[in-house]
Amino acid sequence: METQRHPAVCPQCNTEVAASLLICPVCGRLTHSERLKELANLAEKATASNKVSEALVAWRGAIELLPHDSKQYAAISLKIDDLTKRLDSDKSAEKDARKRFAKWPLGLGAIALLIWKFKVLIILILTKGKLLLLGLTKASTLFSMLLSLGVYWTAWGWKFALGLVLTIYVHEMGHVFMLRRYGMKATAPMFIPGVGAVVLLGQRPTNPRENAMIGLAGPIWGVGAAIAAYIVYLVTKWPSWAATAQVSAWINLFNLLPVWQLDGGRGLSGLSRTQQWLVVAVMGVMLVLTAEGLLILLLIAGAIFAFSGPHAEKPDRTVFAQYVFLTILLSLMSRIPVRM
């Protein structure tokens, strides 16, 4: 939707209203009331057709045209929350899986359930080739990617540079995928040599769960890319691909740090206080098992976050399972031996 750059006339009191104002200062009428009706109709039709992501796009467009303290803003926020919940996996299927795996020996059942939870995510990663290629059609992404490739090529050779750039790209496209799934606007990935890449959000998540799922989508896709790199190494025996898998895992583990704008802070903020401390405990266990030095930083930052950082009011099993899964797998993969 294009923003008007000239004053509009309020149809109720004929007062000229600046385009930046959301309500008429004289009569209090919503400035974009007609557009709000259009977006509401689009959202309702999309919802009726079970096109949840399209409905979210419409509702998020509408909420931007409303004052934050208005009743309409609160009502649409609830609609967005309800729709994002519909994007979750089938609860009945999950309940059946829990019953089935509960019969397994202690420990094996929990591992099997965790793998089952991630089967949908793994399928998504493997089938989103079109989305991955789409990102490369953006000039800013392609040119910045080539610049980073050149910098890393000079330092470490083309094989490792290519693998590293591709795994970083997949990580960022994980964020893009989840943002699109939730109907949010975002830029294409922009590479910054020596730093990685970033995706800028055009809209903000409306609840802690959305924020956590968007944050953890990057490391989830990133670990998928690291696994793919390791498979290439097993097939080709090229040490550069083992190095790519190890470094990619380390970078994604670093992103789990709950500091600044890294993904870990978003993920932990979607958990209850008890769940946050359980994640910290998992970090401690993996530190003992792997002796990965980065886990010391994760342990310290995680403990500080769990003690005083933001948290969700209710536990979230999906976000918790994702965080634990990533912590365990990335910790193990960061120790992949590399023989150059």
Q: How far is CA 237 from the centre of its chain?
A: 32
Burial per residue of 228-252, b for 16 or more beta-carbon CB atoms within 10 angstroms, e otherwise: bbbebbeeeeeebbbbbbbbbbbbb
Largest CA distance in the chain: 76
287, part of any domain? yes
For the chain, the distance separating the N- and C-terminal CA atoms, rounded to the nearest angstrom, is: 53
Mean pLDDT lowest for which of 129-138, 176-185, 260-269, 278-287?
129-138
The reply to whether 220 and 280 lie within a common domain is: yes
The reply to whether 155 and 259 lie within a common domain is: yes
102, part of any domain? no
Higher pLDDT, 121 or 264: 264
The reply to whether 287 and 162 lie within a common domain is: yes
97, part of any domain? no
The reply to whether 79 and 126 lie within a common domain is: no
* Domain assignment of residue 12, given as a range: 8-86
* Helix, strand or coil, per DSSP, at residue 340: coil
Of 27-31, 131-135, 189-193, 282-286, give the range with the top mean pLDDT: 282-286
Would you state the pLDDT for residue 1?
39
The reply to whether 147 and 296 lie within a common domain is: yes
What are the CA-CA distances from residue 197 to residues 2, 162, 165, 171 (Å)? 28, 15, 9, 9
101, part of any domain? no
The reply to whether 234 and 324 lie within a common domain is: yes
The reply to whether 134 and 61 lie within a common domain is: no
2, part of any domain? no
Would you state the pLDDT for residue 69?
82
Number of domains in the chain: 2
Tokens linked to 324: 């634990």
The reply to whether 142 and 291 lie within a common domain is: yes
**Residue 46: which CATH number?**
1.20.58
Would you state the pLDDT for residue 107?
52
Mean pLDDT, the chain, as a whole number?
A: 83
Q: Is the pLDDT of residue 151 over 80?
A: yes
Residue 276: Cβ-neighbour burial (10 angstroms; 0-12, 13-18, 19+)? buried
The reply to whether 79 and 167 lie within a common domain is: no
47, part of any domain? yes
Q: How confident is the model at residue 5 (pLDDT cuts 50, 70, 90)?
A: very low
Helix locations, the chain, DSSP H: 33-48, 52-63, 71-86, 91-101, 108-117, 119-127, 129-135, 139-156, 158-181, 208-236, 239-254, 263-269, 273-290, 294-308, 317-333
Tell me the pairing of strands 190-192 and 16-17: unpaired
**Rounded mean pLDDT of 181-209?**
85
The reply to whether 272 and 139 lie within a common domain is: yes
74, part of any domain? yes
- For the stretch 226-263, pLDDT in tens is 999 999 999 998 999 999 999 999 999 999 999 888 99
290, part of any domain? yes
The reply to whether 44 and 133 lie within a common domain is: no
Domain boundary among 86, 105, 134: 86
The reply to whether 281 and 230 lie within a common domain is: yes
Tokens linked to 335: 């120790």
